[in-house]
Amino acid sequence: MKIWLDDERPAPNGWKRCTSPGEAICLLQTGEVTEISLDHDLGLIDQTGEQTGYDVLLWLEARAARGLGPTALMRVHSANPVARRRMEQAIKAIRHLTEGGGSSAP
């Protein structure tokens, strides 16, 4: 399964669209996700703050720190340039922890 995390853009053919980090993480926990593409700005704010695509990467990084490899190829499609760089750095950190895990989009 391929996951497209985005609140506005439709998922490409063959991808399942998620609109929240929690929904994406639930799908990642199934072990059936082969690829995930993340937007940063999701328009979700609650009492704990803003929920973003970066939250998914923090969850994946915590898994990697516990010795659990990435469950999917990781990409970023965010149009937010600052957030995109931060997300790509998180992917590099995850890859470093897992010695060659996922990849970011070019």
* pLDDT at residue 57, as a whole number: 96
- Residues of 63-99 as b/e, b for ≥16 C-beta within 10 angstroms? bbeeeeebbbbbbbbbeeeebbebbbebbeebbebbe
CA distances 24 to 19, 46, 72, 77, Å, are 8, 17, 12, 15
Q: How far apart are CA 100 and CA 44, in angstroms?
A: 32
The answer to whether residue 105 scores a pLDDT higher than 60 is no
**How is the chain split into domains, by residue range?**
2-98
Q: Express each pLDDT in 56-104 by its tens digit.
A: 999 999 988 887 876 679 999 999 999 999 999 999 999 888 865 444 4
* pLDDT at residue 102, as a whole number: 43
**Whole-prediction pTM:** 0.85
Query: Which CATH number, 1.10.3470, 3.90.79, 3.30.590, 3.40.50, labels domain 2-98?
Result: 3.40.50
**Average pLDDT of the segment spanning 23-32:** 93
